A and B are shown apart, each in its own frame.
Chain A
């Protein structure tokens, strides 16, 4: 796969929904017309980056062709990137990101 062959004009942002519990952040990304093997997912402690080819090139109402989904998602809190899990079902990418438990109790003087 060579994602870089597409220029920036052909990029669109996928729909994203972010949920949060006390222990984890759940990021859902809607990726219609995408194959699992084309998804390039990168995770840091603070953000998720998704980049993937859209297998069916289509034109919108302005006849602009779109070929690529790309989005950088800033996370609401730091996560433990080594324990991130992702699954792709019904063309929705579900990413589970455990929150980093780096909390220090402060003694009040």
Chain B
């Protein structure tokens, strides 16, 4: 069923393929970004919680890429979930051409499903990542209610600075709509997949949501994940480079 009543944009269309009676679900958005932290977290949660595909995004502006897994064509941007948890993932870096429409379509849909809380997962590049003994996760809540839940995790508030990339569009949209959401950004390698940082984010989600997702497998398979995620990381880094080209006047005065 198509969500025509949710005013889909011209660039993207959200299609629900499985009808569920959602009960104020927790939503995880994990799209390709710095260190592929969001992607790795989202895929691990889907596997561990055994979340079926319940929908996807269609767009005529997708690049000419076909992803096939177990002899089946995969949707490029997938929605997996059950009545309590919904996870958004993507097999491709999100193009600037569809970015705004995608964010609007997804946030409208999440609001309509009366989500309890939305977590937008990503990495934050740290040039000392290789030497780091402790990986920090920084939180950006969009409402005061979202701030309260942070006390349960081992998190630092992102207190000052400028963040770029697609996750900022989600956070700004939720902030403008006064919807409960939290950006979770872990210290990460900029251009290498980072399963270790992803595991730290999952540990924090466990604390905040009362989940019990075991990160042992993620850490054990870390090198294999890095090997398999090579191509996606390369394309994501190219995509991020395009996003990192703001004009000087786009950056607030205090940071110039």
A residues near B (Cβ < 8 Å) are 12, 14-17, 19, 28, 30, 32-33, 54, 56, 58, 60-61, 89-92, 94
User: What would be 26 A-B contacts, judged by CB atoms less than 8 Å apart?
Assistant: A12-B230, A14-B230, A15-B191, A15-B230, A16-B191, A17-B190, A17-B191, A19-B127, A28-B130, A30-B189, A30-B192, A30-B226, A32-B223, A32-B224, A32-B226, A33-B224, A56-B223, A56-B227, A58-B224, A58-B228, A61-B69, A89-B130, A90-B196, A91-B226, A92-B189, A94-B130
**Interface size bucket, B side?**
20 to 34
Expressed in whole angstroms, the minimum distance between the Cβ of A37 and any Cβ of chain B is 16
Contacts of A30 in B (CB 8 A): 189, 192-193, 226, 230
Q: Decide: A58 and B227 in contact? CB cutoff 8 A.
A: yes
**A33 with B191, Cβ < 8 A, contacts A15-B234, A61-B69 known:** no
The answer, among B68, B190, B192, B230, for a CB contact under 8 Å with A92, is: B192
Within 8 A of A (CB), among B214-231: 222-224, 226-228, 230
Distance, CA A94 to CA B224, complexed state (A)? 20
The answer, among B67, B130, B196, B226, for a CB contact under 8 Å with A61, is: B67
> Known contacts A12-B230, A15-B233, A92-B189; can you find 20 more A-B pairs with CB under 8 A?
A14-B230, A15-B192, A15-B230, A16-B191, A17-B189, A17-B190, A17-B191, A17-B192, A30-B189, A32-B223, A33-B223, A33-B224, A56-B227, A58-B227, A58-B228, A60-B228, A61-B67, A89-B130, A90-B196, A92-B130
The majority secondary structure among interface residues of chain A is: strand
Contacts of A91 in B (CB 8 A): 223, 226
Contacts of A14 in B (CB 8 A): 230
Q: Decide: A54 and B192 in contact? CB cutoff 8 A.
A: no
Q: Mark B184-206, 1 if CB is under 8 A from A, else 0.
A: 00000111110010000000000
Distance, CA A32 to CA B36, complexed state (A)? 15
Contacts of B67 in A (CB 8 A): 61
Q: Decide: B224 and A90 in contact? CB cutoff 8 A.
A: no
Contacts of A12 in B (CB 8 A): 230
Q: Name the residue among B190, B191, B226 with the largest chain A CB count within 10 angstroms.
A: B226
Q: Name the residue among B130, B223, B227 with the largest chain A CB count within 10 angstroms.
A: B227
Contacts of A28 in B (CB 8 A): 130, 192
The answer, among A16, A32, A61, for a CB contact under 8 Å with B68, is: A61
Distance, CA A32 to CA B223, complexed state (A)? 5
Contacts of B193 in A (CB 8 A): 30
Distance, CA A106 to CA B56, complexed state (A)? 62
Residue of A nearest to B125 (CB): A17
Contacts of B233 in A (CB 8 A): 15
Q: Name the residue among A19, A32, A60, A89 with the largest chain B CB count within 10 angstroms.
A: A32
Expressed in whole angstroms, the minimum distance between the Cβ of B248 and any Cβ of chain A is 21
Q: Decide: A54 and B191 in contact? CB cutoff 8 A.
A: no
**A56 with B224, Cβ < 8 A, contacts A61-B67, A61-B69 known:** yes
Q: Decide: B227 and A54 in contact? CB cutoff 8 A.
A: yes
Distance, CA A104 to CA B69, complexed state (A)? 58
Contacts of B222 in A (CB 8 A): 32
